Amino acid sequence: MENEIPRLSRLTSILIIFQSKTVVTVSEIASKFNISKRTVYRDIKALEEAGIPIFKEEGKGYSLMEGYNLPPVMFSTDEANTLITIEKIIQTNTDSSLIENYQNIVTKIKTILKYSDKEKIELLSNRIGTTKKTNNQVKSNSLLLIQTSITDQIVIEIAYKSLSKEQHTKRQIEPLGLYFSNENWIVIAWCNLRNELREFRLDRILNIKPLNKYFDNHKFNLSDYFIHVSEKIS
């Protein structure tokens, strides 16, 4: 007979996955926990019998009923320690909006920790540090706005300083992807001024504002984009 303690832990983890995604597939759960699809179906049924409103989307997977709220997720000490470590690393990042928002996340997480865990987290936070390069200073404050533009497909207007000619231009762009390279965040976007895909360094964006305009996603795929760029270079 299946050991109930590991299964209870697995059911809790599956519930967390449902909280974190809009649609979850049986194959995804089976792969995550190294179990059979039959076991996944049994686990989903057990959650349903416990009163969790899970419904099936034909051809897609399973979802929680929209609007259903589960109790706050509790973190283990190891997980909380990991978040504190990441916080220290993010403090060396070059975008202030990312630093500020992650610090807010950690503050909220601390509110649901047990008192004894809070003391341990505070101790660890005071014992972990990073060394910054002298030239590694905050250079941008637009990362989170651009992330929102990608997810909501909102056109943004930027004032941009060219790297080569030191010229300032105003452009309307449609952000499609982001990556971090050489201590700088770079947004891949459709540039309406040039009518083609362009890359823009966030530290060279002088001003930025969202517009009341929306765009299609251009069927953009980040992996395919990097492959295409690599082929052009070679």
pLDDT tens track, the chain, 234 positions:
444 446 777 888 888 888 888 899 999 999 988 999 999 999 999 999 988 899 998 888 999 888 776 666 667 778 888 888 998 889 888 899 998 888 888 887 777 777 777 888 888 888 888 876 555 567 899 999 999 999 999 999 999 998 776 788 999 999 999 999 888 899 999 999 999 999 999 999 999 999 999 998 788 999 999 998 888 876
Q: Establish how many alpha carbons lie within 13 A of residue 160's alpha carbon, considering only the half-sphere containing its beta carbon.
A: 21
Integer angstrom CA distances of residue 88 from 114, 130, 133, 141, 205: 22, 7, 15, 18, 26
Helix axes 4-20, 26-33, angle to 10 degrees: 130
**CATH number for the domain running over 143-233:** 2.30.30.530
**pLDDT at residue 197, rounded to an integer:** 94
Integer angstrom CA distances of residue 58 from 23, 61, 200, 231: 11, 7, 40, 39
What's the rounded Cα separation, in Å, for the pair 187 and 185?
7
**pLDDT at residue 5, rounded to an integer:** 46
**pLDDT at residue 66, rounded to an integer:** 81
Query: In CATH, what class is 4-64?
Result: mainly alpha
**pLDDT at residue 113, rounded to an integer:** 75
**pLDDT at residue 132, rounded to an integer:** 65
The strand pair at 154-161 and 61-64 is best described as unpaired
Global pTM value: 0.67
Beta carbons of 63 and 22 less than 8 angstroms apart:
yes
**pLDDT at residue 189, rounded to an integer:** 96
